Amino acid sequence: MNRTLADRHARLAERFGTPLYVYDLDEIDAARSELYDALPREARLFYALKANPHPDIARALGEGPGRPCLPEISSTGELAVALAAGRRGQDCLYTGPGKTAAELDEAIALGVRRFSTDSVTDVRRVGAAARAHGAVADCILRVNAPSARGTTAIRMTGTPSQFGFDAETLPDTLPLVRDIPGTRITGLHFFPLSNAQDASALIDAFRHSIILAAQLERDLGLTLRFLDLGGGFAAPYGVPGQRGAYPKLRAELEADLDLHLPGWRHDRPAVAFEAGRFLVGAGGTLIARVGNIKVSRGHKFVVLDAGINAFGGMSGLGRLLPVSVRIDGAAETETATLVGPLCTPGDVLGRGVELPVLEPGDLVSIPNAGAYGPTASLLTFLGRPAPAEVVVRGDLVVSASRLEHHRVALGGCS
Ligand SMILES: *Cc1c(COP(=O)(O)O)cnc(C)c1O
């Protein structure tokens, strides 16, 4: 990080307090252009709001310059963000294995017409909600595909999952969902990988999905109008590094689609991809302040004002460690454990991390923190305020805000 950026972050920390997320929309625009350039020109790109549902980010990704992303949402809360960001219900793809009748009713009422479905019950519920509004909803069937390893993989069993229809039993399941009033089965949805570190593994996974989609279309007598091939585009998380680069992806995808689904350039099927972390990861930096330095039995602990309450990104799943801190030409570095302020030994951001020699009051910045930040953290645990979130475009501050939780009373108590 250069000096001016560090100074700019320090000024923002002074003005808005720490812990503080800074999201730069210019960087997010750049990521979006990069990904569109790596995909076939005809492809649509969905932004998974799960990665960062900040309204200014959802809005920026849904507007120009460059081609906008469509919202991929999984709750009525995310739907509200997409609508507030200027998108229409009909632009959204609504996904998730636990959709309730009530949320489907709300989604249909707000104009959502495309759902990724994971079970027979799911399609039935979509149908019931659509009928109640005199509507017909497009359902795409999420496919739990067998492993991509080996070309005859279609005969192997995939991993058991709450997501998707098992590919090998789809011939038996399809008749159960085919004619549900209020629905049309219009396509398939694959999402076999996340954060694929290896571009060729990603290309193989897409190829596998394309071949399976073509085979299911043929064997099941489906008419594919929409094919969501998922994502898996990689981005570093809380450590330095670059987004994934996919120089061969576009040509490989075009060749595979031309071969197996030759109508795809004319929307038969329309082909879509999804991304979360790739689009927003590098655009975010978490700035925290050192509260205390403590040595215990010869081991140094740097206690920050941000822990897993602010940058917990699914820490319960053990996906987070280790975080690193940017070292901007520090003369001296040392190894220490980076912890947050919470009263739990689980509040560790990084063990044995290389750090500049720090003092209480110093600012540290954690790079590539734009995805799975505040909303993927234990925000209410131990009752600290949520981190500030400042959206910038270069030097310009677009907005500054903070999430707030409060308890509301429910009726029905005497
Ligand atoms: C979470 C999710 C994404 C985004 O994943 P990233 O790894 O952040 O790109 C995309 N699609 C679906 C269906 C998801 O559940």
According to CATH, the topology of domain 282-402 is Lyase, Ornithine Decarboxylase; Chain A, domain 1 (2.40.37)
Note the pLDDT of residue 196. Answer: 87
**Residue owning the nearest CA to atom 8 of ligand 1:** 276
Q: From ligand 1's centre to the CA of 360, what distance in Å?
A: 38
**The CATH number, out of the four listed (3.50.50.60, 3.90.1010.10, 3.20.20.10, 3.30.70.60), of the domain defined by the range 25-280:** 3.20.20.10
pLDDT of amino acid 3: 72
User: What pLDDT, on a 0 to 100 scale, did the predictor assign at position 148?
Assistant: 54
Of 57, 99, 122, 194, best ligand 1 pocket probe by most atoms within 8 Å of the beta carbon: 194
Tokens read off for 158? 């995939």
- Tokens encoding 215: 């085979």
Query: Which pair of tokens denotes residue 82?
Result: 């997409």
pLDDT of residue 322: 59
- Active-site positions read 343
Identify the pLDDT of residue 301.
Answer: 97
Which of 72, 189, 195, 237 has most ligand 1 atoms within 8 Å of CB, for mutation? 72
Distance 413 CA to ligand 1 centre (A): 40
Domain regions of the chain by residue span: 25-280, 282-402
Interior CA angle at 116 toward 164 and 73, to 5°?
120
pTM: 0.94
Collect the ranges in the chain with pLDDT lower than 50. 150-157, 316-319
Q: How far is the CA of 314 from the centre of ligand 1 (A)?
A: 14
Pair of tokens at residue 349: 């951001």
CB neighbourhood size of 346 (10 A): 14
Residues with CB under 6 A from ligand 1: 48, 50-51, 72, 95, 191, 194-195, 231, 233, 274-278, 371
Give pLDDT, residue 1. Answer: 58
ω before 360 within 30° of 0 (cis)? Answer: no
pLDDT given at position 154? 36
Residue 153: the pLDDT is 34
Distance 51 CA to ligand 1 centre (A): 7
Residue whose entry in the numeric block shows the structure tokens 């940058």: 311
Least Cα distance to 31 among 236, 277, 201, 202 occurs for 277
Q: Which amino acid appears at position 204 of this protein?
A: D
